[in-house]
Amino acid sequence: MASKSSTMAALCSACRASLYKPTASIYCTSRLQPLRFTSTAANRHSSRRSRRTYATASSSSSSDDASPPPSWPSSPNPTPYEIFGMSWREPYTKRRFHQLVKLYHPDMTPPTTTTTASSSSSSFSSLSRAARTERYRLVVAANDLLSDPSKRQLYDLHGAGWTRGHAPNLRERDRDWRHQPNSPARNATWEDWEAWHHEQRRRQYGGDPPRPVYMSNGLFATLVVAMCFVGAMAQKNRAMAVGEQYVEFVEDRNADIGRAMQRTTSAAAGRSREERIDSFVRDRENVAYRYRPGRYDAPEGLPEDDGGQAARETQRLRGVRAPPP
């Protein structure tokens, strides 16, 4: 039993030694670990300091925050853009809204120690509580309108959404469209209309409208000369065609006259002198009888519609004297 107890004691001492060594090593390691971490943190802290010396964003943001709030517009019915002191082309930011809220909130007072807000605080001190509350309400309403892109677009195009705190009136809306920014009612001359149309096209295309493409002066002159040349050639061809048609018509007319004379000559070749004279008189006076030879050929003893005027005229032409009636 003694040997066993001594053996167990030896084992326990060995076990203790083996256990104590790792514990010591762990303890030493744990003591060295914070030293390494501390050195790393110091390096990081120094690197951060070096980085902060070269940063510029913080300075710009501080300068923006230090800018004074916009002064209240002098018009009795200001627009949202006039309240925030911005143009309708500028993107909306809430920096000015925060400045005006701090200035006109009923439960807050403006800072009087800073030099940047001296003008705002002096004008603020002369305001009553009701006026300050009314301005605060207008600031909140303008923020609700301009912070929503759809509401802002409706206001820019049609003036909808800004009623200045009272119930919207349709007749007043019909009158107020003349006083909205970029309203065509402000156009008085053709230069104003040109500028207004240019602005509408710029809004539609998101930039400058496409410019019309013009041809050069030389190309335009060439086209005009070419068109004149083509027209001259067409007129020349038309004149030549009309001339040829007229020549053909004259030739056909002369041929017809020649054939008629030939027929007359051949017909009068076997006639006597009296027959030739009678044929000549018939052809000459055919116009007087309105191209109706039947009246000329009517017998002399028959009554006619004209009272024998045709018969007497025939006898006169033949050289025969008729007895007086």
pLDDT in tens, 272-284: 888 888 877 777 7
The values of phi and psi at residue 211, to 5°, are -80, 145
What tokens does 21 get? 């060594």
**Would you call 164 exposed, middle or buried from its count of C-beta atoms within 10 A (0-12, 13-18, 19+)?**
middle
Return d(Cα 153, Cα 146) in angstroms, integer.
Answer: 9
- 105 Cβ partners below 8 Å, 6+ apart? 136
Q: What is the mean pLDDT of residues 233-245?
A: 94
Q: Please state whether the predicted TM-score (pTM) of the whole model is above 0.85.
A: no
* 168 and 260 both lie in a single domain: no
CA distances from 238 to 98, 233, 247, 248 (A): 85, 9, 14, 16
| Residue 304 maps to a domain | yes
* 77 and 166 both lie in a single domain: yes
Task: Quickly state the pLDDT bin for 205 (edges 50, 70, 90).
Answer: confident
The values of phi and psi at residue 320, to 5°, are -100, 125
| Residue 63 maps to a domain | no
Alpha helices in 169-308 (DSSP H): 170-176, 190-205, 217-268, 273-284, 293-296
Domain limits for position 16: 2-51
| Residue 306 maps to a domain | yes
* 141 and 45 both lie in a single domain: no
Q: How many domains does the chain have?
A: 5
* 138 and 199 both lie in a single domain: no
Residue 194 has pLDDT above 80, yes or no: yes
Task: Quickly state the pLDDT bin for 130 (edges 50, 70, 90).
Answer: confident
Q: What was the pLDDT predicted at 231?
A: 95
* 122 and 172 both lie in a single domain: yes
| Biggest CA-to-CA distance, the chain | 208
* 167 and 80 both lie in a single domain: yes
Per the prediction, the chain carries an average pLDDT of 71
- Please say whether the beta carbons of 106 and 132 come within 8 A: yes
Return d(Cα 318, Cα 302) in angstroms, integer.
Answer: 19
What tokens does 90 get? 């500028």
| Residue 223 maps to a domain | no
* 114 and 162 both lie in a single domain: yes
Distance of alpha carbon 325 from its chain centroid, rounded?
Answer: 98
| Residue 319 maps to a domain | yes
Residue 33 has pLDDT above 70, yes or no: no
* 275 and 323 both lie in a single domain: yes
Q: What was the pLDDT predicted at 34?
A: 43
| Locus of tokens 């030694």 | 17
pLDDT in tens, 64-91: 455 777 888 888 888 899 899 888 888 9
| Residue 198 maps to a domain | yes
How many CA atoms does the CB half-sphere of 134 hold within 13 Å? 12
How many of the other CB atoms lie within 10 Å of CB of 310?
20
Higher pLDDT, 167 or 322: 322
Residue 242 has pLDDT above 90, yes or no: yes
What tokens does 64 get? 């923006």
Q: What was the pLDDT predicted at 269?
A: 77
Residue 11 has pLDDT above 50, yes or no: no
What tokens does 133 get? 């509350």
H/E/C letters for each residue in 172-188?
A: HHHHHHHHCCCCHHHCC
CATH number at residue 161: 1.10.287
CA distances from 260 to 150, 247, 248, 274, 289 (A): 96, 20, 18, 21, 21
| Residue 170 maps to a domain | yes
* 76 and 149 both lie in a single domain: yes
Q: What was the pLDDT predicted at 284?
A: 72
pLDDT in tens, 12-22: 444 444 444 44
Task: Quickly state the pLDDT bin for 318 (edges 50, 70, 90).
Answer: low
* 175 and 74 both lie in a single domain: yes
| Residue 128 maps to a domain | yes
Q: What was the pLDDT predicted at 171?
A: 58
* 256 and 292 both lie in a single domain: no
Return d(Cα 166, Cα 176) in angstroms, integer.
Answer: 14
* 78 and 167 both lie in a single domain: yes
